[in-house]
Amino acid sequence: MKTKLLAVTAGLLTATMLASAPAKADVKIGLIGGVSGPIAAMAPAMIDAARLAITHVNDQGGILDGETLVGVVGDSACNPQGGTDAATKAVNIEGVLAIVGPHCSGAVLAATGSVTVPAGVVVVTPSGTSPEISNIADNDTVFRTVPSDDYQGRALARTLRERGYDKVAVAYINNDYGTGLANAFRGEFEAQGGEIAGFAAHEDGKASYRSNLAELASGGADTLVLFDYGDGTGLTILRQALENGFFEKFVGGDGMKSDAPINELGAENLATFVASAPVGEKSASLDTFNALFKEAGGDPDAIFVTTSYDAAFLAALALEKAGGDKAGVAAALREVSNGEGEPIGPGEWSKAKELIAAGTAIDYKGAAGDHNFDANGDVPGTFALFEVGADGFEVITEMK
């Protein structure tokens, strides 16, 4: 009887202990993208790439003490108010410990200034490219895995001059993305001896831009450089320029490297259209990511997928390194990708987790390159110029 009583008591005690043991909480990061708005066609692939990084974490032991890493998707609609609203929900309602995104520069600037910097939440944007992001008073909490448009604009200007573009007109959307890219391009194009025959901002969402185009064309340039979004106003301007014969050649920035112009206007009508965009540096890490993303059903050639994967994987590494302490994530982010330590490639979560637990330094070698953040949280980058071929965008040349 005494033995049975002890066994029952022990069983009850064990059950009580199990019942009172707190369940492990999910570790959340925000995935704030332009799900609606002018980059809606680009956003799904970018979010899928970030989710792939999260899948790799969860399939290889999870984060911290075996917790599940969860990506909470929010829609910035690619505008400042949308970015602020999505960040507010992610931080204050969902309790995220880091954010991948927002996707668009205006949304990044608004969300960080209003929400994430005051809350001390680290942001890693994979596609916010405005030079103004470098100037945020962020307490070292804002990073990006994509280079600033200051790099892209200047690289595009040099490449066009090398390819014989002497006189161009520039049209740019009147937001942080368009303004930053256009100003960087103009400064370098003129420094390289080129002529800007027209330079004008335009507002989003108008039905007709024919008067804008006519004024830009009046300067005598045969080439229109268009800094806008191929899923939005940029498509309208490109269509109307082609319909009315305002220009013979067209150049876009990364926002115009979208399938929408090809699908809407036809590849045969875009023979003189080229676009610049950041690309991953050729490396074993890029090859690994391409294979993993393709296996998961993604398109490795989609824009910003490498930077999106890297942003999410880096956020996870930093959270692991910081032990889940929100206040330590920024410093940890710099420690896991600074050019020193045991190399970690895409998908190598279990290896990274073991090394971090052992106190061994690691260095993430990303799909988009080595993300050795400078004092502003910026990274250098590699760019390419693309043309429209039979199978979509094809690289013409690398840009330096």
Residue pLDDT, tens place only, 231-272: 999 999 999 999 999 999 999 999 999 999 999 999 999 999
Joined tokens for residue 265: 């206007």
Quick check: is 18 in a domain?
A: no
Quick check: is 9 in a domain?
A: no
* Pair (257, 158) in one structural domain: yes
* Pair (354, 299) in one structural domain: yes
Residue 19 pLDDT greater than 90, yes or no = no
Contact 259, 237 (CB under 8 A): no
Model pTM? 0.89
* Pair (165, 137) in one structural domain: no
Q: Work out the average pLDDT over 13-34.
A: 69
* Pair (162, 118) in one structural domain: no
Q: Work out the average pLDDT over 87-98.
A: 98
Quick check: is 11 in a domain?
A: no
* Pair (56, 176) in one structural domain: no
> Helix, strand or coil for residue 52?
helix
Quick check: is 14 in a domain?
A: no
Confidence bin at 23 (pLDDT 50/70/90): low
Task: Report which residue type is found at 384.
Answer: A
Quick check: is 180 in a domain?
A: yes
* Pair (128, 226) in one structural domain: no
140 alpha-carbon distance from chain centroid:
18
Q: Work out the average pLDDT over 342-361.
A: 98
Dump pLDDT digits (tens) for 287-331: 999 999 999 999 999 999 999 999 999 999 999 999 999 999 999
CATH of the domain at 311: 3.40.50.2300
The whole domain housing 197 covers 150-277+384-399
Residue 9 pLDDT greater than 50, yes or no = no
* Pair (49, 83) in one structural domain: yes
Supply the pLDDT for residue 16. 42
* Pair (160, 266) in one structural domain: yes
Residue 14 pLDDT greater than 50, yes or no = no
Supply the pLDDT for residue 400. 85
Quick check: is 366 in a domain?
A: yes
Supply the pLDDT for residue 3. 41
* Pair (77, 93) in one structural domain: yes
Supply the pLDDT for residue 390. 87
Joined tokens for residue 376: 């502003």
Quick check: is 66 in a domain?
A: yes
Supply the pLDDT for residue 280. 77
What are 288-294's contacts with CB under 8 Å, separation 24+? 288/345, 288/346, 288/347, 288/367, 289/346, 289/347, 289/367, 290/367, 292/52, 292/56, 292/346, 292/347, 293/49, 293/52
Confidence bin at 133 (pLDDT 50/70/90): very high
Confidence bin at 381 (pLDDT 50/70/90): confident
* Pair (106, 135) in one structural domain: yes
Which runs of consecutive H residues, i.e. helices, occur in the chain? 2-20, 43-59, 80-88, 105-111, 117-119, 149-162, 176-191, 210-217, 233-244, 259-265, 284-295, 305-321, 329-335, 349-357
- In the chain, the percentage of residues whose pLDDT exceeds 90 is 90
Give the total number of structural domains in the chain: 2
* Pair (51, 111) in one structural domain: yes
Facing residues of 275 across strands?
252, 386
82 alpha-carbon distance from chain centroid:
17
Quick check: is 378 in a domain?
A: no
Supply the pLDDT for residue 279. 87
* Pair (86, 121) in one structural domain: yes
Supply the pLDDT for residue 169. 98
